[in-house]
Amino acid sequence: MIILGINETSHDASVSLIKDGQILFAGHAERYSKQKNDWYNNDKIIIDALSYAIPTHIAYYEKPQLKRSRLILKGGAGDWKPKIPISLPVKYFKHHYSHAAAGYYTSSFNDAVIVVLDSIGEYNTSTIWVGEGNKIKLKYKQNYPVSFGLFYSAFTQLVGLKPNEEEYIFMGMAAYGDANKYYNKVRDYFPEHNKQKYNFHKGITDWGWVTEQDKFDIAAAVQKVYELRLMEFMKMARTITGKTELVFMGGCALNCSANTMLWDIFDDVWIMPNPGDAGSSLGAAAALYGKHIEWKTPYLGHNLGGEYPINEIITNLIRDKVVAVASGRAEYGPRALGNRSILADPRDPDIKDKVNLIKQREMFRPFAPVVLEEYADKWFDMDFDSPYMQYAVKCLQPEKIPSVVHKDGTSRVQTINKNQHPGLYGVLSNWHALTGVPVLLNTSLNIKGQPLLNDKLDIEKWQKQYNFPILS
């Protein structure tokens, strides 16, 4: 059984291909079309996926007619009608079920609670499921317009950022704000997990003038209220299911500051590295397969080939303190985890400004560290692994690596071991031997607001345009 999973018609179209429980390909449409958050797939990504195998079945991540009815009856943004690229029978799965399947079937769990929180599926916005063996069963649902994701997105839009795209910037702003200033006001918009002031899809229209500092204070208050409601919801999920292992999916699972708190409630946590809608092409394919699929790696996209240039990276890091690398298969998920990355010396306090200039980002934006797994707990307050940069934790030696510590003293950590990425592990090991520091700055290889670089043509264009070499 070779299944082509498809997700499109809202932000973050993607394609996945699985064969007998093995993932052959999983990639993002935007990396091929160069349209950030592209709504639709394109010929290039379909051809890339089909170069691995010709599918026998197609799985789609939503129920189009159900979504259409919601758009007609309740409104909201988005299209509903997919353009299926190959003439094969299509099996359609509900939006939240695709999220749940993407998480549970890639996990190592056989008995877990699955929580899905996003802006909106067809109607569902918050669901709790139980995964037992091969079965996934719905236990609780909450419908539009009450929505964790729409709450967060509406405030993202209020401060002038793009909803459904720049929530991660809004989250980063929270560290610069005073949460108490607007806490009561923001809490009144979302007083209980199943109660909200109004339909956030329409935006927040009753706030009034917002100054520059207000934006940071609002971000801090929104993050605080979100965390409070999230913890209530997660405790409820544990209580009603009795499960101690959590699978968390949906766009809300990208909130790395809040994710860390999940370890206080559950014994083990799995967040598939692509928990938003872009991960649901894999979810739909897994749902049709109906069993666990083998999760080995997030490096599942376009293949540049090549050996990881360990020695060149080290030479350039010592000389220039910053290096760009594009090698092997692209990451499936929003984070660059070494194959489409800019790596830099985290000890230099000026490197943050330098990399922000290269990427043309706001200067307040923080950068994340990658650390050798065996040293993670000496440098960061964590007793779990974080191979996909999903958790923000306190940095224990901020004075030694100032360029990867956020204003609030936390870092969004990527831990690395030899099995996950022998090349990147080799770079970190050599760097550690030379400097005594097992940490590097790791950020995505792209310019602000543009998709990550994908193929050889992208690399050539970048090198010409920015006169900045990329090792590959």
Q: Residues in the site for Fe ion, rule: CB under 5 A?
A: 118, 277
State which residue, 102 or 234, has the beta carbon closest to Fe ion: 102
**C-alpha to C-alpha distance for 340 and 403, rounded to whole angstroms:** 20
Nearer to Fe ion, 196 or 420 (CB): 196
Q: How far is the CB of 221 from Fe ion (least distance, A)?
A: 25
Shortest separation between residue 425's beta carbon and Fe ion, angstroms: 33
Gyration radius from the chain CA atoms: 21
Residue closer to Fe ion (CB basis): 116 or 330: 116
3-state secondary structure (DSSP) of residue 401: coil
Nearer to Fe ion, 250 or 309 (CB): 250
Which tokens hold the place of 247? 């699978």
Q: How far is the CB of 149 from Fe ion (least distance, A)?
A: 8
Q: What is the nearest approach in angstroms of Fe ion to the Cβ of residue 251?
A: 6
Residues in contact with 244: Cβ distance below 8 Å, sequence separation at least 6, in sequence order = 238, 266, 267, 268
Task: Kindly list the strands in the beta sheet with 410-416, ordered across the sheet, starting from the edge strand earlier in the chain.
Answer: 391-394, 410-416, 368-372, 439-444, 340-344, 322-326, 470-471
Task: Count the residues in the chain.
Answer: 472
Residue of this chain nearest to Fe ion (CB atom): 118
Nearest approach, Cβ of 100 to Fe ion (angstroms)?
Answer: 11
CB closer to Fe ion, 118 vs 122: 118
Q: Cβ of residue 142: shortest distance to Fe ion, in angstroms?
A: 14
b/e map of 303-331 (b: 16 or more CB within 10 Å)?
A: bbeeebbbeebbebbeeebbbbbbbbbbb
Q: How far is the CB of 259 from Fe ion (least distance, A)?
A: 17
- Between 121 and 346, CB nearer to Fe ion: 121
Q: Which is nearer to Fe ion, 277 or 331 (CB)?
A: 277
Q: Contact at 8 Å (CB) between 236 and 271? A: no
Query: Least Å distance between CB 76 and Fe ion?
Result: 12
Tell me the C-alpha distance between 317 and 51, whole Å. 36
Q: What is the DSSP string of 47-70?
A: HHHHTT---SEEEESS-HHHHHHH
251 versus 369: smaller Cβ distance to Fe ion: 251
In Å, how far are 324, 359, 444 from 362, measured between CA atoms?
20, 9, 15
Q: How far is the CB of 120 from Fe ion (least distance, A)?
A: 7
- Give residue 89's identity as a one-letter amino acid code: P
Distance separating alpha carbons of residues 356 and 375, to the nearest angstrom: 27
Structure token digits, residue 226: 């979100």
Whether 4 and 55 have beta carbons less than 8 Å apart is answered as yes
**Closest CB to Fe ion among residues 136, 428:** 136
